Amino acid sequence: MLRKHLLILLAASLILMGASFAVAQDSQPNNQQPAQGNAGWHHGPPDPAQRTAELTKKLKLTSDQQTKVQDILQSEHSQMEALHQDSSMSQQDRRTKMMEIRQTTDTQIRALLDSAQQKKWDEMQAKREEWGQGHHHGNGDQQSPPPQL
């Protein structure tokens, strides 16, 4: 009789443990979403639509500018994704190519802006470069996200 109760208890314990693992696995993707506390920043390129919305807010883009900026950012995103998939390049070559892509994107966006927007854009660029200098040389807070452009 005691043996029967122990087997039932053991079986119930195993079922509960299995259920808790299943629940933990189901909830894991939700826990991997970017934290809202740091403006959705995470490692990796931001979504082109999110970047366009941010630039629209900061630069007061017209609807025509928004469409063109989003197209430029989508192109940059696609090129960056392809570069990440390319294992034939060295890390240094990949980094150089990424910087070239980013520079081209920045130049294309700046060309769409009026003079007041360009002035604000240049200020934003300077802040981004300043942030990058501090973080690439070990100075500054490693937890803060880069300024988005």
Look at residue 94 and tell me whether its pLDDT is greater than 70.
Answer: yes
Nearest-angstrom CA–CA distance, 55 and 65? 10
- Tell me the pTM: 0.61
**pLDDT interval class at 23 (50, 70, 90):** very low
What pLDDT, on a 0 to 100 scale, did the predictor assign at position 34?
A: 42
Q: What is the mean pLDDT of residues 66-91?
A: 92
List pLDDT tens digits, range 33-60. 444 444 444 456 679 999 999 999 999 9
Model confidence band, residue 86 (pLDDT cutoffs 50, 70, 90): confident
pLDDT of 66 strictly over 60:
yes
Quote the pLDDT of residue 60. 95
Long-range contacts of 95-100 (CB under 8 A, 24+ apart): none
What gap in Å lies between CA 75 and CA 44, rounded to an integer?
A: 16
pLDDT digits (tens, 9 = 90+) for 110-132: 999 999 999 999 999 898 888 77
Residue 85, sorted as left (phi over 0), alpha (psi -120 to 50) or beta, turns out to be alpha
Taking residue 75's Cβ as centre, other Cβ atoms within 10 Å add up to: 15
